[in-house]
Amino acid sequence: MKRVPPPRARSAKPMKQQKKKSRSKFKPFFFLVLLPMALIGGGLLWLKEEMNRPHAHEAAKKLITIESGSTTNQIIARLNREGILAYQLPVKLWLRTFGRRQVLKAGDYTFKSPITPLEVLNRLGRGEVATNDFVIPEGFNYFDIARVLASLQGMKEKPMRPETVMGMLKNRSLIADLDPQATTLEGYLFPDTYEYTINSTREQLIETMVKRFRKVYTPEMQQRADELGLTTRQVITLASLIEKEARIDSERELISSVFHRRLAKRIQLACDPTLIYAALLEGKYRGKIYQSDLDRDSPYNTYKKLGLPPGPIASPGQRSIQAALYPAQTDYLYFVVDATKNDGSHKFSSSSREHEQAVKLLRQQERNQQTER
């Protein structure tokens, strides 16, 4: 028989060559792929840390103006000079990497301290310009509002006297479609908190207040006014009376009920705030109501004149407007401050006898307080 020779063992030399070959392949992979990835990853990690690192600066109270037409590099350099940005390079790299489409908007800005570079960019990107605010409380009349607007600070517009602002509050064109009879904007300057910038003007703020009123006074409200047979002017006039009388929110509909019933029965409204308003119009208000105010021959004197006064006496809030349109269903015809409480609430009565007793109790309380003083 022919013998089959055993298989030959492979030489160790080729194995060593194979290992050397695979190592030689790994080196270019490391240098061409892994090392750049590690460098990029490390760079991105550094960039993220830099952009989210809070930086304290001394320009927190300074108004920084970014002029229209400024380039991104000019804006970054300006903020770096002001100390708001510690370094320019991270910000430029971030915008080049992640914010190619981000637009830094012009305007007047303030930047808190400390602040991160990313917060700075976000504020500029959203156009969060520096603002101040002012408050018009419910029940303010246009004398009060003129004083608030005249006293605003932080505007390029020169300071004004309240009398000058009151002239602006006679711009009837802003409400001509709502109230053709209006002689001023009284009642239509909605009470709220408003923001303004250094470039705002008082006329713009007045327009904003009227626009806010239009947003609040909905078509549904106007429809309800039509159902009651009331004009917008009459609704807002009634709402302003409710606003000036109410101290407790839940009483608005009750006060409205009294006014609606007295109007229906042709009884004078006898609303004290209308006496004050009449005195203000003549520049004769002395801090409280005197007999001369009760005797004043004014269309706003609801102790002498039947029906509603000629127009609103203040800016009513939304709740008072709603109360004017949806009075409570009661048989009340009178109300006076409740002498048994100390929270501004009222005692409501259906008869003059009940009302006189409530008034007597209030007057006695007032005398006791004067004696204690």
**Contacts of residue 358, Cβ cutoff 8 Å, sequence gap at least 6:** 334, 336, 338, 339, 347, 349
Whether the pLDDT of residue 106 is over 80: the answer is yes
Within this chain, do residues 148 and 72 fall inside the same structural domain, yes or no? Answer: no
Whether the pLDDT of residue 11 is over 80: the answer is no
In b/e form, how buried is each residue of 338-356, taking b as 16+ CB within 10 angstroms? Answer: bbeeeeebbbbbeeeeebe
Q: What is the CATH number of the domain that holds 53?
A: 3.30.1490.480
313 contacts 300 by C-beta, under 8 angstroms: yes
| Residue 14: predicted pLDDT | 54
Within this chain, do residues 258 and 175 fall inside the same structural domain, yes or no? Answer: no
Within this chain, do residues 228 and 313 fall inside the same structural domain, yes or no? Answer: yes
Banded model confidence at residue 34, pLDDT cuts 50, 70, 90 = low
- The pair of structure tokens assigned to 63 is 């108004």
Within this chain, do residues 152 and 233 fall inside the same structural domain, yes or no? Answer: no
Within this chain, do residues 191 and 148 fall inside the same structural domain, yes or no? Answer: yes
Within this chain, do residues 169 and 200 fall inside the same structural domain, yes or no? Answer: yes
Whether the pLDDT of residue 198 is over 70: the answer is yes
Banded model confidence at residue 90, pLDDT cuts 50, 70, 90 = very high
340 contacts 361 by C-beta, under 8 angstroms: yes
Banded model confidence at residue 340, pLDDT cuts 50, 70, 90 = confident
Whether the pLDDT of residue 243 is over 80: the answer is yes
Domain boundary among the residues 73, 103, 130 is at 130
**Spatial CA neighbour of 272 closest among 259, 254, 263, 260:** 259
| Residue 154: predicted pLDDT | 87
Kind plus residue range of the DSSP H or E element containing 66:
strand 64-66
Average pLDDT, the chain: 90
299 contacts 310 by C-beta, under 8 angstroms: yes
Within this chain, do residues 343 and 284 fall inside the same structural domain, yes or no? Answer: no
Report yes or no on 49 lying in a domain.
Answer: yes
Lowest mean pLDDT among 43-57, 173-187, 314-328: 43-57
Domain count, the chain: 4
Domain that holds residue 298: 219-332
Report yes or no on 367 lying in a domain.
Answer: yes
Q: Is 328 helix (H, G, I), strand (E, B) or coil?
A: coil
Point out which residues pair with 335 in neighbouring strands: 348
| Residue 299: predicted pLDDT | 97
Within this chain, do residues 226 and 265 fall inside the same structural domain, yes or no? Answer: yes
Q: Is 322 helix (H, G, I), strand (E, B) or coil?
A: helix
Banded model confidence at residue 2, pLDDT cuts 50, 70, 90 = low
Within this chain, do residues 233 and 293 fall inside the same structural domain, yes or no? Answer: yes
Higher pLDDT, 238 or 9: 238
| Residue 27: predicted pLDDT | 57
Report yes or no on 239 lying in a domain.
Answer: yes
Whether the pLDDT of residue 262 is over 80: the answer is yes
Report yes or no on 6 lying in a domain.
Answer: no
Banded model confidence at residue 109, pLDDT cuts 50, 70, 90 = very high
Share of the chain above pLDDT 90, in %: 77
Report yes or no on 107 lying in a domain.
Answer: yes
Whether the pLDDT of residue 15 is over 60: the answer is no
Tell me the pLDDT tens digit for each residue of 279-296.
Answer: 999 999 999 999 999 999
Helix axis angle, 89-98 relative to 72-81, nearest 10°? Answer: 150
Report yes or no on 21 lying in a domain.
Answer: no
Banded model confidence at residue 32, pLDDT cuts 50, 70, 90 = low
Domain boundary among the residues 77, 112, 130 is at 130
**Spatial CA neighbour of 131 closest among 69, 78, 208, 191:** 208
Banded model confidence at residue 33, pLDDT cuts 50, 70, 90 = low
189 contacts 172 by C-beta, under 8 angstroms: no
| Residue 342: predicted pLDDT | 82
| Residue 61: predicted pLDDT | 87
- The pair of structure tokens assigned to 10 is 């492979």
Report yes or no on 189 lying in a domain.
Answer: yes
Whether the pLDDT of residue 182 is over 60: the answer is yes
Whether the pLDDT of residue 237 is over 70: the answer is yes
| Residue 295: predicted pLDDT | 96
Within this chain, do residues 251 and 276 fall inside the same structural domain, yes or no? Answer: yes
| Residue 38: predicted pLDDT | 57
How open is the CA angle 224-228-230, to the nearest 5 degrees? Answer: 95
Tell me the pLDDT tens digit for each residue of 134-171.
Answer: 999 999 999 999 999 999 998 989 889 999 999 999 99
End-to-end CA distance of the chain: 142
Q: What would you measure as the largest C-alpha separation in the chain, in angstroms? A: 149
| Residue 44: predicted pLDDT | 82
| Residue 191: predicted pLDDT | 98
Within this chain, do residues 209 and 171 fall inside the same structural domain, yes or no? Answer: yes
| Residue 370: predicted pLDDT | 76
Within this chain, do residues 96 and 145 fall inside the same structural domain, yes or no? Answer: no
Dist. CA 45–CA 48, nearest whole Å: 5
| Residue 7: predicted pLDDT | 57
Mean pLDDT (whole number) for 44-62: 91
**Spatial CA neighbour of 281 closest among 246, 310, 307, 320:** 310
The residue assigned the tokens 């949806």 is 326
Banded model confidence at residue 79, pLDDT cuts 50, 70, 90 = very high
Report yes or no on 26 lying in a domain.
Answer: no
Domain boundary among the residues 101, 130, 159 is at 130
Banded model confidence at residue 37, pLDDT cuts 50, 70, 90 = low
